[in-house]
Amino acid sequence: MRGSDSRMKIAFVLDDSIDRPDGVQQYVLTLGAFMERAGHEVHYVCSEATRTDVTVHSLARNVGVTFNGNGLRIPLPTSRKDLRAFLDEQRYDVIHVQIPHSPLFASRVVDEARAVQGRTVRIVGTFHILPDGRVSEYGTRLLGRIQRRNLARFDAFCAVSPPAVEFARRAFGIEAQVIPCSIDTSAFAGAEAAPRDGDRVRIVFLGRLVERKGAAELIAALATLPPEVRDRLEVRIGGKGPMLDLLTTAVAHAGLENVVHLDGFVSEEDKPGYYASADLAVFPATGGESFGIVLIEAMASGAGVVFGGANPGYLSVLGDRPEVSVDATDTAAFAAALTRLIEDDALRAELHAEQAERVQRFDVQTVGAQILDLYGA
């Protein structure tokens, strides 16, 4: 056990590039910034990367794949000899691996760290995923069997939500404690709302335009709203992805061109203002979500009400209030839930107050303290 005032050298290990703006990268960068503010030395050990604002070691080459509904970059085989030399030089106190992890890179980092330092390095893992179907579930279970010996070299595990804990047990045979994803709420608080279209109720969606994120389901629900409800709306859909043409066609087919605006890519700098402008921030993901960083970002930015798909990962963030989630594939139920929130200003105010309080449990100051306990600090 290290004293709380001792300085640690920490390596966050991920198979993908740290350059990508995805959930795992946000997770490690947020925690890494917290650890640096606490006085620790932080490195990011990953595959190919170019950023220079943090200490990055790019130790593998990448190839693109699709898994669990996401486009990913996975590493090609990495030299064990080179990894051992690198780890012998760095001598980390903590190695924090993002799981599931590749046998060709992150797994080898764990193996060689144990060979170099034995039990003087603490190796922990965060389990990040839930499957979006049978193929990804079976694939993850197979990977868990392959990784069994490697997993025995870890000292402790956490997972980002209760359903992720259950899936980690089922797929990898590991026991993990729940430590959620986090954000620096102060970085989102007080955001200046993006310009609005008069006094219309604004609905905002922001995310990758891929099937499981639910943008098509949102358009389908909007198309069934009564005209008098639709006429009160301004809907902004931010993000890019392979479904853009399909969504553009769906908007035109439903006659929603004056209601729905496809805004394209929204930068990290513009995200807080984009969320803050929303009366309803809607994230109707249909599955494959182990958590929901977008939900807590929108809450912290001051969105009126954050509303999501009733998948297990999102529910771990949104809680039990039935007004803030729905099975997005049930178009009638989705439209009814939207209508109630659009028409009930008092309900929106009540839910907003609850979510403004709820988001504090996901602040990095709270979560970072839990991670430090995992590190044995």
The pLDDT of residue 68 is above 50 = no
3-state secondary structure of 325: strand
- Alpha helix (H) ranges present in the chain? 23-37, 80-90, 106-117, 134-146, 148-151, 162-172, 215-223, 227-230, 244-253, 271-276, 293-301, 312-318, 331-343, 345-358, 364-375
288 in the Ramachandran plot: left (φ > 0), alpha (ψ -120 to 50) or beta? left
Intrachain domains 9-179 and 186-361 with the same fold: yes
Which residue is listed with tokens 């990055």? 56
The residue ranges of every structural domain in the chain are: 9-179, 186-361
For residue range 206-244, what is the model confidence (pLDDT) as tens digits? 999 999 999 999 999 999 999 999 999 999 999 999 999
For residue range 268-279, what is the model confidence (pLDDT) as tens digits? 999 999 999 999
Q: Which amino acid is at 165?
A: V
Superfamily covering domain 9-179: Glycogen Phosphorylase B; (3.40.50.2000)
For residue range 290-299, what is the model confidence (pLDDT) as tens digits? 999 999 999 9
Query: Which CATH topology does 186-361 take?
Result: Rossmann fold (3.40.50)
For residue range 311-354, what is the model confidence (pLDDT) as tens digits? 999 999 999 999 999 999 999 999 999 999 999 999 999 999 99
In angstroms, the Cα distances linking 310 to 32, 225, 322 are: 30, 20, 9
- What mean pLDDT, rounded, does the chain reach? 93
